[in-house]
Amino acid sequence: MEPGTVIIVTLTALLAAGLLVWGSASVRASFYLSMRCRAEGAGRRVALTFDDGPDPGRTPAVLDLLARRGVRATFFLVGERAEAHPELVRRMVAEGHVVGNHSHTHGGLFPLGSLRNTGEELRRTTESLTRITGLRPRLFRPPFGVTNPTIARAVRRLGLEPVGWSIRSLDTVSRDPERVAARILRRLHPGAVILLHDRCAGSDLLLDRLLDGLQERGYEPTTIPELFDIEAYENHR
């Protein structure tokens, strides 16, 4: 093979590999799954979403604040944490929030799992949340926002509705509520899906600053089903 041909083939292979990696890691790319990341025609409404809970030490403060402010949100829950703290899950639903599937363990190797293991992670979480709430959730957010053909196949088999985000708060990186709120508000746009975490220290303080900023800018926070006009649970809005 000529040297020039080798270079072209190598560069093509590297480009293809890079594209696959980018498609897996970029939640907004919808490369393997069509993800709901931004609602068109939603007006000045945005969805508040929380990942990785419930956390017994921090989630209650977030729920207290949402109740005081009259705001409903969407919580993507880790199955084993929901099983450990079912009272928090039931409280979420009782107070008008929506709960969704965020895998059973949120393990670091989740994106590398087999179809069988990935499907079991999602199925166990769905069954746990159904048992706790009496509602079978349809919404799913992949751990780390990573997708691949295996995850996509498991999601489709279970009939789940994948949800991404358009604004990543980075609240797991910076613990300064003012700074994180300012980052979100700089990126604010109609129909945004905002990614937050209710397990982080100061998550209630961040939420308080964010809600003030949304109100000042004329934005209305809501849930994923309301923003996209989709079903939150099987046979139930």
| Residue 197 annotated in active site | yes
- What is the rounded CA–CA span in Å between residue 206 and residue 177? 4
The interaxial angle of helices 149-158 and 115-133, nearest 10 deg, is 40
Sequence-ordered list of residues with C-beta below 8 angstroms from that of 18, at least 6 positions apart, any chain: none
Burial of 224 (0-12, 13-18, 19+ CB in 10 A): buried
Yes or no: say if 200 and 171 are a contact pair by the CB < 8 Å rule.
Answer: yes
Amino acid sitting at position 164: G
| Residue 51 annotated in active site | yes
Determine which one of 52, 97, 197, 208 is catalytic: 197
Determine which one of 51, 55, 171, 198 is catalytic: 51
**Other beta carbons within 10 Å of 101:** 30
**Other beta carbons within 10 Å of 176:** 13
**Other beta carbons within 10 Å of 191:** 18
- What is the rounded CA–CA span in Å between residue 118 and residue 142? 11
Residues annotated as catalytic are 51, 197
